[in-house]
Structure 1
Amino acid sequence: MAIVIFVLVLWYGGLFFQSFFLHRYAAHQVFTMSKTTERITFVLTWIFQGSSYLSAYGYGVMHRMHHAYTDTEKDPHSPAYDDNLFSMMWRTKTVYQDINKERIAVDKRFTKNVPQWKSFDAFASSRFSRLLWITLYILFFVYFTTAAWQWALLPITFLMAPIHGVIINWFGHIYGYVNFKMKNTSKNLFRFDFLMMGEGYHNNHHKYASRANFGVKWYEVDVTYVIIKILNAFGIIRLKPVAVAQK
């Protein structure tokens, strides 16, 4: 039971900070936060994403490119231009690293106000950091595993963020339903997004990219947005009016 709980904590903890910090804050800036809160959130993202830590800058810039070039040759990740999900994610990794290491020229509209903490990112993305987390995960499994099948969950802990990316960027453009007919293949994966905390309402998000709440229908509960509303109520973050009001 301890192993299952551990994997679930990493799944939903890492997913929350990817959705809350990297996606809605870094890429779309639907709310603001103080510099101190931002730095704390950088560290929490590292703790929960662990060995699969993603830079807010690299993710934010790449995601803006995805919206600008959805399902075209310039899209960093689209099933329309890759034969399988592995080739798509390899291309995603290449674009992400090229952005972080400044190996490609990026239009200023994609980099404007995207949060960046170069020194911390260098550490959190380092081989040392990733191997440290992998070692800690293995030690946890050695100590707490009670059945052989539980070892099958170990690779998931290593690759949590890429797995989250595959679910949305591959399956979220192939399977599901649409609320809005658009010139792209984005779809909503679930009527109630229990798995991806609101990220699965991908068609809704492509329609209203600057909207804080990814749910549109009454049954499309966006769990991440619920947490955002609570943080806003306590003054930890401040939602922008357009992000709340847009319908």
Structure 2
Amino acid sequence: MTKFWERFFYIFTWICQGSSYLSPRAYAVLHRMHHAYSDTPKDPHSPHHTENLFTMMWKTKNIYNDYFSFKLKPEERFSKDVPDWNKFDLFADSMIARVGWGMFYVLIYVLSISVFELAGTHWWMYFLLPIHLMMGPVHGAIVNWSGHKYGYANFDNNDKSKNSLLLDVLMLGELFQNNHHKLPNRPNFAVKWYEFDPTYPIVKILHSTGIIKLRTA
């Protein structure tokens, strides 16, 4: 994509992720490492080399922070051509920005539950706030834990990657991990006729409008 659209999606990512924003640069480095070292001790988020779900995510957080802060320098193959907007990353990662998003979420809950009394809203929904505040890590935990422990495999990738769902709608195709590890450059994570990647049609629309350009090889 062009630099304009790269910056646009940096901002759009921040709006969507809010309090749990992840730097596209640092995340890209970890994602490439995950593919290169899948389910080995060097994998930054493998459920097979950590005690439980929480230790896996804590390990991931520490490695992410080291690359985000440039404390560690990745291998060139992991950092080549990754998106980079360091000034925006520092703003989006700041405590002020994260707390601001958190207060915004709380306000939405208060207004919808206590003031507007929208249909189907109840006081117990406040217990969902921690999940909302940490939706990025929650999503990452589900994908990286379930996608490498539960489900079926279409391919032997010499790792533990699995396809956890036949129709991966809730995780937007991310739980087709076995397919993705076999064909990492394929924009459609679904392979079999009964699988459906709901993100792929969006990718096709972005390509047809010229916002992104899919590689032909």
TM-score bin, normalised by smaller chain: over 0.9
Q: 2:18·2:101 contact (CA, 8 Å) conserved in 1?
A: yes
Q: Give 2:117's aligned residue.
A: none
For 2:188, give the aligned amino acid.
N
Q: Give 1:29's aligned residue.
A: none
Q: List structure 1 runs of 4+ shifted beyond 2 angstroms.
A: none
Q: Give 2:155's aligned residue.
A: 180
Q: Give 2:84's aligned residue.
A: 116
What's the offset of the Cα at 1:149? 2.1
What secondary structure, in the 3-state scheme, does the structure 1 residue paired with 2:201 have? helix
Within 2, Cα distance between the matches of 1:71 and 1:92? 13
What's the offset of the Cα at 1:164? 0.8
Q: Report the structure number with the largest CA radius of gyration.
A: 2
1:34 aligns with 2:9: no
Q: Give 1:193's aligned residue.
A: 168
What secondary structure, in the 3-state scheme, does the structure 1 residue paired with 2:96 have? helix
Residues 114-151 of structure 1: CA deviation (Å, up to 9, x unaligned)? 00100000000111100000000001111111412211
Q: 2:146·2:175 contact (CA, 8 Å) conserved in 1?
A: no
Q: Give 2:138's aligned residue.
A: 163
1:88 aligns with 2:88: no
Q: Give 1:136's aligned residue.
A: 104
**TM-score normalized by structure 2?**
0.95
Q: 2:179·2:191 contact (CA, 8 Å) conserved in 1?
A: yes
Within 2, Cα distance between the matches of 1:105 and 1:112? 12
Give the alignment partner of residue 51 of structure 1, picking from 3, 12, 19: 19
More helix by share: 1
Q: Give 1:214's aligned residue.
A: 189
1:68 aligns with 2:36: yes
**TM-score normalized by structure 1?**
0.83
Q: Give 2:178's aligned residue.
A: 203
Q: Give 2:212's aligned residue.
A: 237
1:104 aligns with 2:72: yes
Within 2, Cα distance between the matches of 1:219 and 1:37? 33
Which sections of structure 1, spanning at least 5 residues, go unmatched? 1-32, 243-247
Within 2, Cα distance between the matches of 1:193 and 1:70? 21
Bigger mean CA deviation after superposition, 153-162 or 108-117? 153-162
Within 1, Cα distance between the matches of 2:127 and 2:39? 34
Q: Aligned pair count?
A: 210
Give the alignment partner of residue 149 of structure 1, picking from 124, 138, 162: 124
Within 2, Cα distance between the matches of 1:104 and 1:34? 28
Q: 2:147·2:162 contact (CA, 8 Å) conserved in 1?
A: yes
What's the offset of the Cα at 1:66? 0.6
Within 1, Cα distance between the matches of 2:207 and 2:31? 24
Give the alignment partner of residue 198 of structure 2, picking from 223, 228, 231: 223
For 2:101, give the aligned amino acid.
W
Within 1, Cα distance between the matches of 2:29 and 2:194? 31
For 1:207, give the aligned amino acid.
K
For 2:57, give the aligned amino acid.
M
What's the offset of the Cα at 1:92? 0.1
Residues 166-192 of structure 1: CA deviation (Å, up to 9, x unaligned)? 111111111111101221000001111
What secondary structure, in the 3-state scheme, does the structure 2 residue paired with 1:238 have? coil
What secondary structure, in the 3-state scheme, does the structure 2 residue paired with 1:239 have? coil
